[in-house]
A and B are shown apart, each in its own frame.
Chain A
Amino acid sequence: MKIEHPNRPAPKAEAGTPLLTVDNLAVSYGGIKALKGISLNVNRGEIVAMIGANGAGKTTTLKTIARLLPISSGKINYDGRDLGPVSAESLVEYGVSLVPEGRGIFPNLTVRENLELGAWNHKSKSVIVETEMEVVRLFPRIGERVKQVAGTLSGGEQQMLAIARALMARPAMLLLDEPSLGIAPRLVADIFEAVARIAEAGTTILLVEQNTRLALKYSRRAYVLRTGEIAMSGNSKDLADNEEIKAAYLGG
């Protein structure tokens, strides 16, 4: 699958250089500090995972990067540009697409309408049709159900649709929030295989995932969050072998 975006940095030439840099990011909900200085970076073409327990701040971090939450302090830099003043709805123009937690599809619209909304930032009909074909090749189940009302899809199919819709914008970077949440295990594997293929095609992925085993299996690097701070980070393989991680997140 080939995904191109006008804003997209050339993937192969500069592979391995940082695309997203988060520097000492702090976020508060009212008086409660949800993030107490998170620093991370995602290189071009990588899958990077954020893992951790409930309430560790994974989704908050992702939502803040997606500009859905205001920044208290710190910087988010994407491809040399500061995302601080960018609004959520214009982020897609920068080449960043969010797949919201809990799937966030439009349940009363048809699958095709969902996909077409994903291509909201593209005006060219031929680009939209072409992208839809590429996306459908990646998720054949979605292709079979284009005329169905999205709310009638199974949970796994809805998650596929959410990812497919995000891909319709032809993003350079995908922000995935808990793609395995509430989905049958067999479909979870399908979804992660698709995510791996999206990354192989050159799209950079930042993944938030509660399923630590899966997240570490499919990502190259990972950050472990604990109460709003990064407790550990490193190559996913090393983290999977780490005794502390095993004990805390992988059930021994």
Chain B
Amino acid sequence: MPRIVRGVLITALVVVVLIWLESGFGASPGFQTVLPDAAWRQLVLFAMVNVVIALSLNVINGMAGQFSIGHAGFVGIGAYTGALVAGHLHVRLGSGDPQFANSFIVMPLVLLASGTIAALFGLLVGLPSLRLRGDYLAIVTLGFAEIFRLVIATAQTGGTAEGSVAKFLASLGGQNGYAGPEGNGVPQYAGPFWIFGSVIVATLIAWRIKFSGWGRALRALREDEIAASAVGVDPTRYKVVSFVIAAAGAGVAGGLFASMHDGSPTVQPDSFTFVQSFDAITMVILGGSGSVSGAIVGGVFVTVTVKLIEQLQGLESIQAFRADHPSIDLNALRMVVYAAVLIGLMILRPEGLFGEREIFRRKRPKKGGGDPDNNAAQKSQSTQESTQDSENSTPADKESTESASSKQATSETLTTAEGTAS
């Protein structure tokens, strides 16, 4: 089968599956059939949004090695932009329940607006701070994210606002959050179709970036900036553009987050604090800096772990324990458990689950060399290399299957636990 035909068929299959998840073709939506519990559906969608966040942060933190610690700020910008666009379009479309058909009008515009606005802010932040060598980006991004959040959170709400900027900020609802233009919630257009679809597209883009000349330039910059510029890689240009790409990805994730099915009907400034930025960094580092597969696994892992610990607190035995020992603050203990999990992982695998590797290896284009001796040498080298590779890749593969199976196991125990609880 020619590659193009195969590509088209795979794309068509994926689209059909996604539409089935969302609409069920007349029957009940596939996503609800697979996961009848709304809390789990929410968790899965939330994990997917986090995967987009991790994938985008991986471009600047993992591939380019520039430490950005304000990623939640860009997610927040995307979320507010997306909520504004979705809310106003929803009113134009006649309000009511968000229809899947209408989401094809709303979501493309939401994602475009969220990505673009976040990218613009990315350029604004990145251009001055990335011209300098060193850790200025970390400071600037952290400051930027907090400024963004505080400007929204502390905006004067109520009727006293004067001036268009103040009125606009007031309309975003301050600390209570933005609930659409009519105050009855941000319309939830982003179902599994859009969220899973975005994850797939983001993965493909991240993959393309990593294995292109662009990705190689970024890795070169990360390893040695002087050497990279000595071979002709313009550090500022590559860093700034990568940062803008990362910001755009975060914006898209924010747009999805704002109008996510089963999500919160309001967009609140507290969803975009330093803690969220830090979670995003954890996802990238845990999965393996620079690894696309790692960002995906890290995004899922962090989301599920945090939720899992929350869910475990609902267990009867834990509740009973809490009643018996009121002096122990279990809520604080949650963070201790989470931190312990992270520390354990970093001790066991300091380079992250994947290091810089991927689950799938890219096929290298074969090179025709004229020198037969040299070719022979390369061949013997390549056979050595391939055995080495399989040795190298097995632990990682094992790790991933292990973590996947353990995750499955935990999810099973969790459902049974819920069963007994209810």
Contact = CB atoms under 8 A, between A and B. Distances in A.
Nearest to A113: B216
Interface residues of B, number: 28
Interface stretch (A39-47, A92-100, A235-243): A92-100
B227 A108 contact: no
| Secondary structure of the B contact surface, majority rule | helix
A63 to B, nearest CB: 9
Contact of B227 (A100, A116, A137): A100
Contact of B230 (A100, A137, A143, A146): A100
Contact of A97 (B220, B228, B230, B381): B230
Listed residue (B229, B230, B231, B232) with the most chain A CB atoms within 10 angstroms of its CB: B230
B356 A143 contact: no
A166 interface: yes
Given A117-B217, A146-B381, A129 B230 contact: no
B219 interface: yes
Contact of B223 (A107, A129, A137, A168): A107
B367 interface: yes
Interface residues of A, number: 40
A165 B385 CA distance: 22
A106 B382 CA distance: 21
Given A66-B230, A100-B227, A108 B235 contact: no
Interface in A89-136: 89-93, 97-100, 104-109, 113, 116-118, 120-121, 129, 133, 136
Given A133-B371, A147-B382, A147-B385, A92 B231 contact: yes
Contacts of A146: 378, 381
B231 A165 contact: yes
B96 interface: no
Given A100-B227, A108-B356, A129 B232 contact: no
Interface string B224-248: 1011111111110000000000000
Interface of A: 66, 68, 87-93, 97-100, 104-109, 113, 116-118, 120-121, 129, 133, 136-137, 143-148, 162, 165-166, 168-169
The 8 A-B residue pairs whose C-beta atoms are closest, nearest first, are A104-B227, A92-B232, A106-B223, A89-B229, A88-B229, A98-B230, A120-B232, A89-B234
